[in-house]
A and B are shown apart, each in its own frame.
Chain A
């Protein structure tokens, strides 16, 4: 599973700590999600999508799905 969380966060010039505070999780958890080490729960994934104004599938992708394909 790949995701665009880092890109979306950096586009908004947010730090990992800023995003973590908005979502109510730890900074380390944001880092783990961005690097693909941790796959968030559905509620957290939805919260991330909602925060960036995107659908979940616009933020998270299957590895089989080509990058950028929607």
Chain B
């Protein structure tokens, strides 16, 4: 038995525990954002700024995560079980806020006659993700 079982139990934590994993994800997200911006606007400069912002953020997290427990959580690699608990609660809070925001957006868009499909997709993903999580974890915890 070890005191840091949490380190081995979470695939996401293990992946982000490696610095290259975090930077890889940052560059991928930045690349997709930049690509989408380039397709929409045709501006290479704007696209590069998109990539630079996201990549810079993840590189900064990768550098500072060894010096700051808070940065380690933001980088996806909490330093111990308490920070892992903080990470889980923060993610749960963020998920609730995302769900409520999508629901509110859906209702406002519907009431004002605007396109609500984007909000419906996000709200549906949050709801299905939660139900899927309950089903997945009920037999594993």
Contact = CB atoms under 8 A, between A and B. Distances in A.
Real binding pair: yes
Interface of A: 23-26, 28-29, 32, 38, 40-41, 43-44, 46-47
A20 B79 CA distance: 11
6 contacts: A25-B80, A26-B79, A26-B82, A26-B83, A29-B80, A43-B1
Interface string B1-41: 11111100000000000000000000000000000000000
Given A26-B69, A28-B69, A46 B81 contact: no
Contacts of B81: 25, 29, 40-41, 44
Ordered nearest first, which 5 A-B pairs have the shortest CB separation?
Answer: A25-B80, A29-B82, A47-B3, A44-B3, A43-B3
B1 to A, nearest CB: 5
Interface of B: 1-6, 69, 79-83, 85
A49 B103 CA distance: 47
Contact of A24 (B1, B4, B69, B85): B4
A15 B5 CA distance: 25
Nearest to A41: B81
B2 A38 contact: no
Nearest to B79: A26
A39 B37 CA distance: 46
Contacts of A44: 3, 81
B90 to A, nearest CB: 15
